A and B are shown apart, each in its own frame.
Chain A
Amino acid sequence: MDFRDTPEEADFRQQVREWLGANLPEGWGTPEWHEPDSLEETVAFHKDWSNELYEAGLVGLAWPKQYGGREAPLTHQAIVLEELSRSEAPDHIGLIGIGMAGPTILAHGTEEQKDRFLKKILTGEEVWCQGFSEPNAGSDLASLQTKAVPVGDGFVVSGQKVWSSFAHIADWCILLARTDGSGSKHEGITYFLMDMHAPGVEVRPLRQITGDSEFNEIFMDGVRIPADRILGQIGRGWQVAITTLMNERANVGFALLARTEVNFRRLVALAKKTARNGSRAADDPIVRDKLADLWADVQAFRFTVYRAFSAFLKTGVPGPEGSVAKLFWSEMAQRLTKTALEIEGAFAMLAPGSERAVEDGRWQKLQLRSRGNTIEAGTSEILRNIIAERVLGLPKSAR
Chain B
Amino acid sequence: MNFAFSDEQDMLRTSARELMQKRYPPERVAAIADGEGFDRSEWAAIAELGWTGISIPEEEGGAGLGFLEEMVLAEELGRALYPGPFLSSIVLALPVLAEANAWGLVNSLVGGERIATLAWAGPDGRFDVDPAPKLGWDDGGLSAEKLFVPDLGIADLLVVVGSHAGGPGVWTIERENPGIAWRELPTVDSTRRLGELLLESAPATMLDAPPAGFLERARDRALAALAAEAVGVASRALELGIEYATGRQQFGKPIGTFQAVSHSLAQGFVEVETARSLAYWAGWAVAESAPEAPTASAAAKARAAEAAISVCERVVQAHGGIGFTWDHPLHRYYKRALQIAAMMGWGAEQRTRVAAELLD
Contact = CB atoms under 8 A, between A and B. Distances in A.
A47 B4 CA distance: 38
A304 B277 contact: yes
B41 interface: no
A398 interface: yes
Given A3-B3, A391-B269, A393-B242, A328 B359 contact: no
Contact of A394 (B242, B273, B359): B242
B55 to A, nearest CB: 15
Interface string A366-397: 00000000000000010111011101111111
B263 A293 contact: no
A252 B259 CA distance: 27
Contact of B3 (A272, A300, A310): A310
A388 B284 contact: no
B266 A388 contact: yes
Of listed B68, B242, B278, residue having the most chain A CB within 10 A: B278
A1 to B, nearest CB: 6
B100 interface: no
Contacts of A304: 273-274, 277
A16 to B, nearest CB: 14
Interface in A1-34: 1-6, 9
B2 A310 contact: yes
A304 B270 CA distance: 10
Interface in B1-18: 1-6, 9
B343 to A, nearest CB: 18
Interface string A296-310: 110111111011011
Contact of A296 (B254, B276, B302): B302
Interface in A244-278: 268, 271-272
Q: Which of A283, A288, A391 has the most CB of B within 10 A?
A: A288
A4 B359 CA distance: 25
B352 A327 contact: no
A119 B359 CA distance: 46
Given A307-B3, A392-B242, A398 B257 contact: yes
- Size category of the A interface is 35 or more
A1 B280 contact: yes
B275 interface: yes
Nearest to A303: B277
Interface in B49-71: 68
A293 B265 contact: no
A292 B303 contact: no
A398 B250 CA distance: 14
A78 interface: yes
A3 B4 contact: no
B281 A303 contact: yes
A397 B1 contact: no
Name A's interface SS. helix
Contacts of A175: none
B358 interface: yes
A295 interface: yes
A225 interface: no
B267 interface: yes
A105 interface: no
Contact of B263 (A5, A309, A388, A396): A388
B4 A1 contact: yes
B256 A394 contact: yes
B302 to A, nearest CB: 7
A392 B359 contact: no
A368 B285 CA distance: 37
B273 A324 contact: yes
A280 to B, nearest CB: 8
B1 A78 contact: yes
Interface string B126-141: 0000000000000000
B278 A303 contact: yes
Contacts of A272: 359
B193 to A, nearest CB: 30
B258 interface: yes
A291 B348 CA distance: 11
B245 interface: yes
A75 interface: yes
A394 B278 contact: no
B155 interface: no
Interface string B240-262: 00100110000001101111001
Nearest to A283: B359
Nearest to B4: A310
A289 B245 contact: no
B259 A392 contact: no
19 contacts: A2-B1, A282-B359, A288-B351, A296-B302, A296-B354, A300-B303, A306-B277, A307-B3, A310-B4, A324-B270, A327-B270, A384-B267, A385-B262, A388-B256, A388-B263, A392-B242, A394-B246, A394-B257, A397-B258
A-B CB proximity, top 5 nearest: A303-B277, A292-B351, A288-B355, A388-B262, A292-B354
Interface of B: 1-6, 9, 68, 238, 242, 245-246, 253-254, 256-259, 262-263, 265-267, 269-270, 273-278, 280-281, 284-285, 295-296, 299, 302-303, 348, 351-352, 354-355, 358-359
Given A292-B352, A391-B266, 19 more contacts: A1-B2, A3-B284, A291-B359, A299-B281, A301-B274, A302-B277, A304-B273, A304-B274, A307-B273, A307-B280, A324-B273, A327-B270, A383-B266, A384-B267, A385-B266, A392-B269, A394-B254, A398-B253, A398-B258
